[in-house]
Amino acid sequence: MVQGHIYKLADAELDQPSMVTIGVFDGVHRGHQHLIKRLVEEAHTAGRAAVVLTFFPHPDIVLRGLKGRYYLTSPEQRAELLLALGVDCVVTHPFNEEVRQVRAAAFVDQLLTHLKMSSLWVGSDFALGYKREGNVEFLREQGTQKDFTVQVIDLIVAQGETVSSTLIRQALEEGEMEKATEWLGRPYEVRGEVVHGEKRGRQIGFPTANVAVWDEQIIPRNGIYAGWAMLGHERFMAMTNVGVRPHFNGSNVTVESYLLDFDRDIYGQQLRVTFDKYLRPEAKFNSLEELIAQINEDVRVGREWLEEHST
């Protein structure tokens, strides 16, 4: 049984019992990975399907009315990462006012009906259902009544702090890429179509790919980054500028990547960009010559760092 990615709990049609974990899993960070790898191993050993039930939009956005960039991963990227961990089925269930009002016992019944749930795996702080009434104690009582087990997994701690999506968002906003990379278990990434910009970089000898990043995904702190650009199965060193391009009096934040040793027209293609190392803040220069000299220095430093840290 491999269903891949589906978008509604009622559309799940499992033909075998499953072990299920539930959460937002934004970023699929190391804490998430720890839980899910154990779930997959146990499920497959027992001849069960490994299922992740997640939500979109993020409950925080619905409950708190948040606006702007908030996500570490799009629903599609999140599902890709989860499936790559060996999960058989990812259910991205819509979260809205109707779902928010569902009582915990009723939601458990849906899991049993649609996922043939034999075991539920959660973190110690987990709760589901109306007003978060379905905490671990409640779920264990439900399990006794309805014949499923509840497995509580300890949260991962790194640098003395519990790994969380909130901490990773803060690290990105501060340009602390080493922390974000450690907590995610990989460099932070954005992706999008390469679109036409003002072609300022081309005019000064550094043509950049202007990446149309999903407008709800977090972009790291404004500045210059060393990282990698993935075009299909090809990978290139890249220097990426996040910001408003103050030298050219820009006002809108853009993500523009200069791919090293590269000279092709890739407009309209999908590009993935990682942020491995924060090099410096954005700056306005006194002359075009100063700007070009600084970009050359950024490329030198960035190339050296990437060569040293290449895997």
For 144, the token pair is 């006794």
Alpha helices in the chain (DSSP H): 30-45, 59-64, 75-84, 97-100, 104-115, 136-146, 165-173, 177-184, 200-203, 288-309
CA atoms within 13 A on the CB side of 270: 7
State the angle between helix axes of 104-115 and 136-146 in degrees (0 to 180), rounded to the nearest 10. Answer: 50
H helix and E strand count, the chain: 10, 17
Residue 217 burial class via C-beta count within 10 angstroms: exposed 0-12, middle 13-18, buried 19 and up: middle
Q: Is the dihedral of CA 289, 295, 296, 297 positive or negative?
A: positive
Span between the terminal Cα atoms of the chain, in Å: 34
Catalytic residue among 80, 256, 282, 289: 256
Nearest CA-CA partner of 222 in 256, 193, 249? 256
AA identity, residue 139: L
Please indicate whether residue 182 is annotated as part of the active site: no
AA identity, residue 50: A
Q: Give the residue numbers marked as catalytic.
A: 256
